[in-house]
Amino acid sequence: MASMTAKKLAIEYEKDVSKELFKYECLKDLDLFVLDNSIRESTVGQLRGHTIENKWEIFNEVTKCGFRHRIVASYNHQRRVDDEFVKEVLAKGEDPEGLWAFSEVTEGISKKVPDQTSIPVGLLKMKEAGLRNVIFEIDLGNSTYNFKKFTVKDMCRLVEKWVLWAKSNLGSNSKVLVSLRDLPDVMPKKFQRVFHVVDFLARLNLLFGICFEEPRGKSLPEECGTWAKFIRKVMDSANWKGHLLVHVHEKFGLMDATA
């Protein structure tokens, strides 16, 4: 009886291992796209901000790694070192094709309802600097917006509005990513919002891709993997082959495993 049980377990084991390892087959032909965020994210948790010299040191090291696409700025109303750094980078002849910047998709919020008319300052600064590629950051959880007054459909229309603005004002060859910034907050109970927005963006067919963020570094790889799986399912259902990127913060040692 013991030998029969062991034999059955061995067969089950082989099936389970084959099934799990088959997941890695997709990595062989994966269209890998790396968007380096070292310049921006290395400020997280620091007591002091970067100087232009700091940013150049990071930029040069990233360039040595061979990463072509690099995030060089995150703009807001305040004057940041990013404003001057980008000017220096472009003045030295760096190809803007591989340079990216963050921008909010909403400009000002009153009582958890965003201003839907004013052009986001990030876009205006990008246009002034000569940057082409934008990452719009959006929140779909309840902590930022009142989704009874500012609906998910309103969010979709607003994203479309600024995507079209970017295409018209930053250059027809500009690349646009939309970053879903608060998935750990929204996926447990309001995941329908995410699927609705992703489906809308997929059918819009104007974006370079979608990025989702795990900003806490607390979610298990299996959680983030499931988010990626179903976001890609929504993209596939619209027959959209845009890139799907993931951005995970390092907190409790799960960042690399999750990515």
Phi-psi region for residue 161, left (φ > 0), alpha (ψ -120 to 50) or beta? alpha
| Confidence (pTM) | 0.89
CATH number (3.40.50.720, 3.40.630.40, 3.20.20.70, 3.40.50.2020) of 32-258 reads 3.20.20.70
- Closest CA relative to residue 73, chosen from 81, 82, 60: 82
**pLDDT value at residue 216:** 85
Tokens of 247: 């951005």
**Cα-based angle 137, 140, 145 (whole degrees, multiple of 5):** 95
pLDDT per residue of the chain (259 residues) written in tens, 0 to 9: 556 688 899 999 999 999 888 878 888 888 889 999 998 877 666 667 789 999 999 999 999 999 999 999 998 888 889 999 999 999 999 999 999 999 999 888 888 999 999 999 999 999 999 999 999 999 999 999 999 999 999 999 999 999 999 999 998 789 999 999 999 999 999 999 999 999 999 999 999 999 999 988 888 899 999 999 999 999 999 999 999 999 988 777 778 888 8
**What values do phi and psi take at 141, rounded to 5?**
-85, 175
| Per-domain residue ranges of the chain | 32-258
Label residue 76 exposed, middle or buried (CB < 10 Å: 0-12, 13-18, 19+): middle
According to DSSP, residue 45 is labeled T
